[in-house]
Amino acid sequence: MKPAKLHYWILGCFSMALCCWCTSDKFHQSDSHPHTWKKLYLAHHWPVTVCKQTANDCQDPPEYWTIHGLWPDKSEECNRTWHFNVTEIKDLMPDMRRYWPDVIHSSLNRTHFWKHEWEKHGTCAATLEVLNSQKKYFGKTLELYQHVNLNGYLQKAGIKPSSTYYQMTAIKEGLTKFYGVTPKIQCLPPEEGEKAQTIGQIEFCFTKELQLRNCTEPKGESSRLQTDLQLGSRELSVCSDTLPVYYPSQVQHRK
């Protein structure tokens, strides 16, 4: 082969290899990549608690647990060039509006919340083939939400919104016994003058094979995903086992 032809042949092979690498890298990260993650959190939030400290735009929240998101642990915004495109999930829109609503900004563009979840978390979850498109990510999240059926379990267990308080250990033990795994339960801490924490979020953890697993971490190891939600000046945190729990039935905006 003549030197000139050999030169162009090498360049062509290099370009093809580079193109293939770029395409595959959109979906797959190497084990040494900083975006590597081990488990997924399926986060449900209680809309009444979400609305508890927000502005008047948050009105008439759903009276059932809705989806907050599906989050890989220890990774965020893995591909900032992979922008949200609502047309890719148009077939899912009825279920998205019902089960994954933007509780806080009910009067604004409802797709902004989904855009945030995709670009922050979905682009990282997409390293799994079963989640490697926007339709797959949102569709599978809806499927897992229906499979867990948190609303159905709580109703069956008699755990419902009330003006009375629950014991945190009773709720946690009930969930663990029913699902066979330990979820992560988050609350708003009591404000001054209050004696109870307010339940706000329940997260179930899944393996990369989308099987339920414990959310507990070994001692000394903690996830960076403490919460993806801030309400007013207070943030959700893991509920205390020693404080009673308030499961509010309606929004009471502070004066």
CATH number of the domain to which 179 belongs: 3.90.730.10
Contact (CB, 8 A) for 200 and 239? no
Question: What pLDDT sits at residue 18?
Answer: 41
Contact (CB, 8 A) for 153 and 163? no
CA dist 157 and 25 (Å) reads: 45
Domain extent at residue 89: 35-246
Domain membership of residue 163 (yes or no) is: yes
Catalytic annotation on 33? no
The tens place of each residue's pLDDT in the chain, 255 residues long, gives 555 544 444 445 444 444 433 434 454 443 334 568 999 999 999 999 988 766 556 778 899 999 999 999 988 999 999 999 999 999 999 999 999 999 887 656 679 999 999 999 999 999 999 999 999 999 999 999 999 999 999 999 999 999 899 999 999 999 999 999 999 999 999 988 889 999 999 999 999 999 999 998 655 444 445 445 555 546 899 999 999 999 999 765 443
Question: What pLDDT sits at residue 14?
Answer: 43
Domain membership of residue 253 (yes or no) is: no
Question: What pLDDT sits at residue 51?
Answer: 86
Domain membership of residue 3 (yes or no) is: no
Which bin fits 179, alpha (ψ -120 to 50), beta or left (φ > 0)?
A: alpha
Catalytic annotation on 88? no
Domain membership of residue 148 (yes or no) is: yes
| Sequence letter at residue 63 | E
Catalytic residue among 117, 173, 192, 217: 117
Catalytic residue among 121, 129, 203, 253: 121
Question: What pLDDT sits at residue 217?
Answer: 66
Domain membership of residue 2 (yes or no) is: no
- Please list, in sequence order, all residues whose beta carbon lies within 8 angstroms of the beta carbon of residue 158, skipping any fewer than 6 positions away: none
- Please list, in sequence order, all residues whose beta carbon lies within 8 angstroms of the beta carbon of residue 127, skipping any fewer than 6 positions away: 27, 28, 29, 35, 37, 72, 78
Question: What pLDDT sits at residue 74?
Answer: 84
Domain membership of residue 17 (yes or no) is: no
Nearest CA-CA partner of 69 in 231, 251, 204: 204
Q: Give Cα separations from 1 to 5, 8, 163, 172 (angstroms).
A: 7, 11, 85, 72
* Furthest C-alpha separation in the chain: 86
Helix (H, G, I), strand (E, B) or coil at 165: strand
User: Scanning the structure block, which residue is given the tokens 């488990």?
Assistant: 39
Task: Compute how many other C-beta atoms are within 10 angstroms of the C-beta atom of residue 211.
Answer: 9
Domain membership of residue 22 (yes or no) is: no
Cross-strand bridge partners of residue 197:
245
Domain membership of residue 252 (yes or no) is: no
Question: What pLDDT sits at residue 10?
Answer: 44
Backbone angles phi and psi of 68, in degrees to 5:
-95, -45
Catalytic residue among 44, 45, 68, 203: 68
Question: What pLDDT sits at residue 185?
Answer: 97
Catalytic annotation on 83? no
Nearest CA-CA partner of 39 in 117, 119, 125: 125
Q: How many domains does the chain have?
A: 1
